[in-house]
Structure 1
Amino acid sequence: MKVALISLDYYGYDKYIISAMKELDIEAIHIDIYANRYRYPNLWVRLKNLINKSFFNYNIKTSHLDKLIKDTLSNYSKLDKIVIIHAEWLSPETLNFCQFKSNEMIAYHYDGIQRMPSIINTFKYFDKIYSYDKEDAKKYNLNFITNYIYEQVKDINFHEERKAFNISSLDNRTPILEKIAKILEKKNYPYEFMVVNRRQFNFYTRKIKTKIKYLNRMVSREQVLDKIKRSNLMVDIQRPEQTGLTFRVFEALGLNKKLITTNKDIINYDFYNPNNILIIDPENIEIPDKFLHTKYEMVPDHILSNYHVKTWVKKILELN
């Protein structure tokens, strides 16, 4: 089977899909939009593109992306399947070309449609559409599938510190993270929380004084993974408009970490264990000492295997 994955692999999750496909003897092609993104050579080109977008409906970034995908796919005969993660990045012309080059078009979204409603305009190009959000799946008649465990550690003696970890973008979740940080400080429980703001200017005023680190650059996937492995507790704050389980949940599962989360729907999953997962109310946060100081209880392998990236690939591609 020959499959192309087209995605904006900004956070580095999608490369694990390619690795899983190759383990399953699939000829996998990854067109990584982020790694091959257009970069302005100078300020003049940036300004020129702004004028072209505003008055002539032309975007040099979109043109670059269209050419990248067409040139790459043109090197192959018709593919069995093309999987596109977040197709709203692609023009109708490019999606039409992908249809021409593939026997089956598959879409996957690991973000809520409320955050990017333009994605609805791409539905007509796909044979199957998957979403990680149960409510979106019901509302738009999509196929539901969770995110996946991309790395698993079975060594329970792996060196880890008594420390909570979170990394997230600067948004409406940040005040909640500050509250959690303050509670952990009062309980003398160490934490490493990182809030990333990639905008040039930061007008955010901290609500509570904490030891949270505020950064203006991304942290690499390798660095994040190392920090997760060396912590024993993770914090996951759900966006208010989403019900899907974030990758934080599956990192905690795969790496045997306790989890504090605001996602109430997690109680409906077969891996849920109140000893390992604490659900908190953002308006009234309570973190019991018992939860912080009891050991992690291992989740059975037969449950974890259902969420592994290789199982995810089998479901998406409908492999037996």
Structure 2
Amino acid sequence: MQEEEEKVVLLITYDNWGFNQYIADALEKKNYKVKHINFHSFRYKYPSFYHKALNFFTKNFGIANLKHTHYNQIILDQIKDLKSIDTSIFIKADFLSKKTIRAVNEKSRQSVLIISDSINRYPKTKNVLSLFDKVFSFEKKDCEKFGLRFKTNFIYKTIDEIPAKFKFKVFNISSFDNRFPVIKKIAKALYEMKVYSKIMIFTSKENNEPYLEFSKKPISIDENNQLLIESEIMLDVSRNGQEGLSFRVFESLGLKKKLITTNKDIINYDFYNPENIFVIADLDNIMIPQSFFENAYVPVSEQILNKYLIENWVDELVE
């Protein structure tokens, strides 16, 4: 009896937090051979100051981006030895050229694009949508507007039992961006409510506020997971115009933690329970009832959770 040929999955991502490696690991457990090209692990070095200055002007005038050209070439170089690909999966393809995507597609049984952000934030994504067999997005509005398939983020870590004690009541970790004023406002409200929180912001700025912790150095996903375990409740703050659910939501589901969020669309999901999830409706009048902090977490059914577990989540990508 002839042995079945090993199926290859090509995963092309910019995995700055490490979440996409969970996709690769889940597919490998299903006996796929996964080649993960992660651009966050590549560092482009300008040949000279002239090239750096040139790239500043060409990039801003929409002519060319030397970094993106370099990344596209890496893909072309790394797929040379791949004779055939069962499924090519792209996450964040706005900086890829049509030439590169077509070169990958020529070797692939099917090509898949996952958009884990709004197209408004990365509008160049619109230029390549037609090149893929399947396009998934976590934004319902983009799915309706561009005819995409809806797919949430996933649960990558679970626990069996909720710890008896926690180091922090509320935890959040974020980059310094346009969400900062909202995060600061919520952190201050929690501080005034005497809710002990760890709210971390990555930035080179200095901070004198007792309710915020600034860090110049990003932490690893393992360090992040440890802080999650040590915290009882998670804080989730959406970007402006974002309705899709962030990884904070699915971390809270997998780790059986309550969630405070600014994402109002969360009430439309099957796992929503006001006992577990508090939605901040008015940022100018943040009032979280004391009972939310005191009452126990209400377990979500296994049937619902199974839909979002990474080992089941990946099936739709390769079928």
**Deviation of residue 155 (structure 1)?**
2.3
d(CA) in 2 for partners of 1:156 and 1:215? 28
Kindly report the root-mean-square deviation, in angstroms, between the aligned alpha carbons of the 2 structures: 2.1
- Cα deviation, 1:236-268, whole Å, max 9, x if unaligned, reads 011121110000000111111110001111111
Name 2:86's counterpart in structure 1: 80
Q: Which of 120, 124, 128 lines up with 2:126 in the alignment?
A: 120
The alpha-carbon distance between structure 1 residues 180 and 58, as it changes in their structure 2 partners (threshold 3 A), is closer
Name 2:250's counterpart in structure 1: 250
**Deviation of residue 46 (structure 1)?**
4.5
TM-score normalised by the chain length of structure 2: 0.90
**Deviation of residue 53 (structure 1)?**
5.9
Contact 1:12 1:221 in 2 (8 A): yes
TM-score normalised by the chain length of structure 1: 0.90
Name 1:286's counterpart in structure 2: 287
d(CA) in 1 for partners of 2:76 and 2:174? 34
Q: Which of 181, 184, 189 lines up with 2:190 in the alignment?
A: 184
Name 2:35's counterpart in structure 1: 29
Name 1:221's counterpart in structure 2: 221
The alpha-carbon distance between structure 1 residues 49 and 187, as it changes in their structure 2 partners (threshold 3 A), is closer
What amino acid sits opposite 1:253 in the alignment? Answer: L
Task: Compare 208-217 and 131-140 and name the one that shifted more.
Answer: 208-217
**Deviation of residue 62 (structure 1)?**
2.6
d(CA) in 2 for partners of 1:62 and 1:183? 42
Contact 1:6 1:84 in 2 (8 A): yes
- Tell me how many residue pairs correspond in the alignment: 309
Q: Which of 74, 79, 85 lines up with 1:68 in the alignment?
A: 74
Contact 2:183 2:237 in 1 (8 A): yes
- Cα deviation, 1:200-254, whole Å, max 9, x if unaligned, reads xx5x9x8x94420123332221111111110001000111211100000001111
- Cα deviation, 1:5-37, whole Å, max 9, x if unaligned, reads 100001110000001001111111111111123
**Deviation of residue 187 (structure 1)?**
2.1
Contact 1:165 1:192 in 2 (8 A): yes
How do 1:88-99 residues align onto structure 2 when only pairs under 5 Å count?
Answer: 88-99=94-105
Name 2:177's counterpart in structure 1: 171
Task: Compare 107-116 and 177-186 and name the one that shifted more.
Answer: 177-186
Note the residue ranges of structure 2 that are not aligned, 5 or more in a row: 1-6
- Cα deviation, 1:163-196, whole Å, max 9, x if unaligned, reads 2100112223212222222222222211000112
**Deviation of residue 285 (structure 1)?**
1.6
Contact 2:252 2:259 in 1 (8 A): yes
% of aligned pairs identical? 36
**Deviation of residue 292 (structure 1)?**
0.9
**Structure 2 residue matching 1:88: 3-state secondary structure:** coil
Q: Which of 145, 159, 183 lines up with 1:153 in the alignment?
A: 159
d(CA) in 2 for partners of 1:55 and 1:259? 44
**Structure 2 residue matching 1:168: 3-state secondary structure:** strand
d(CA) in 2 for partners of 1:2 and 1:58? 32
Task: Compare 307-316 and 189-198 and name the one that shifted more.
Answer: 189-198
What amino acid sits opposite 1:54 in the alignment? Answer: F
What amino acid sits opposite 1:69 in the alignment? Answer: I
The answer to whether residue 308 in structure 2 is matched with residue 302 in structure 1 is no
Contact 1:131 1:145 in 2 (8 A): yes
Name 1:54's counterpart in structure 2: 57
Q: Which of 193, 197, 200 lines up with 2:199 in the alignment?
A: 193
What amino acid sits opposite 1:284 in the alignment? Answer: N
d(CA) in 2 for partners of 1:280 and 1:60? 42
Task: Compare 182-191 and 248-257 and name the one that shifted more.
Answer: 182-191
